[in-house]
Amino acid sequence: MGKIVFLDVDGTLIDYETKCPASAADAVARARANGHRVYICTGCSKAEIMQRDLPELDGMIGANGGYIEDAGQVVMHQSLSVDECRHIVDWCNERHLGFYLEANSGMYINSWFVEQAPATMRMYAMGKGADEERADAAAASFINGMTRTDDLYRSDVNKVSFILSSYQDHLDSKVEFPTLEANTWGGKGELALFGDLGPSGITKKHAIEVLLEHLGAKQEDTISFGDAKIDLSMFELCAYNVAMGNGGPEIKEAADYITDDVNEDGLYHAFEHLGLI
Q: Do 102 and 192 have their domain in common?
A: yes
Specify the CATH number for the domain of residue 98. 3.30.1240.10
pLDDT digits (tens, 9 = 90+) for 167-188: 999 999 999 999 999 989 886 5
Q: Do 70 and 94 have their domain in common?
A: no
How many other C-beta atoms can be found within 10 angstroms of the C-beta atom of residue 46? 20
Mean pLDDT across the chain:
93
Q: Do 97 and 152 have their domain in common?
A: yes
Q: Which of 198, 218, 240 marks a domain boundary? A: 198
Q: Do 95 and 185 have their domain in common?
A: yes
Q: What is the pLDDT of residue 15?
A: 87
What is the domain extent for residue 21? 4-78+202-273
Spans of the chain below 50 pLDDT:
none
Widest CA span in the chain: 53
Half-sphere exposure of 161 (CA within 13 A, CB side): 23
Q: Which of 174, 198, 222 marks a domain boundary? A: 198
Q: What is the pLDDT of residue 95?
A: 98
Q: Do 33 and 16 have their domain in common?
A: yes
Give the 3-state secondary structure of residue 144: helix
Q: What is the pTM of this model?
A: 0.85
Q: Do 103 and 165 have their domain in common?
A: yes
Instruction: Tell me how far apart the alpha carbons of residues 84 and 177 are, in angstroms, rounded to a whole number.
Output: 9
Contact 8, 226 (CB under 8 A): yes
Q: What is the pLDDT of residue 13?
A: 97
Q: Do 172 and 265 have their domain in common?
A: no
Half-sphere exposure of 248 (CA within 13 A, CB side): 16
Q: Do 182 and 119 have their domain in common?
A: yes
Q: What is the pLDDT of residue 188?
A: 57
Strands, E, within 65-175: which ranges?
A: 67-70, 73-77, 99-103, 106-109, 147-148, 157-163
Q: Which of 160, 179, 198 marks a domain boundary? A: 198
Q: Do 117 and 97 have their domain in common?
A: yes
How many other C-beta atoms can be found within 10 angstroms of the C-beta atom of residue 26? 16
Q: Do 188 and 121 have their domain in common?
A: yes
Q: Which residues contact 276 (CB under 8 A, 6 or more apart)?
A: 3, 5, 27, 30, 31, 34, 36, 223
Q: What is the pLDDT of residue 190?
A: 61
- What phi and psi values does residue 259 have, to the nearest 5 degrees? -100, -170
pLDDT digits (tens, 9 = 90+) for 113-150: 999 999 998 888 887 677 888 888 888 888 888 999 99
- Number of domains the chain contains: 2
Using a 10 angstrom Cβ sphere, with 0-12 exposed, 13-18 middle and 19 or more buried, the burial of residue 166 is exposed
Q: Do 120 and 210 have their domain in common?
A: no
Instruction: Tell me how far apart the alpha carbons of residues 88 and 67 are, in angstroms, rounded to a whole number.
Output: 20
Q: Do 73 and 206 have their domain in common?
A: yes
Q: What is the pLDDT of residue 133?
A: 85
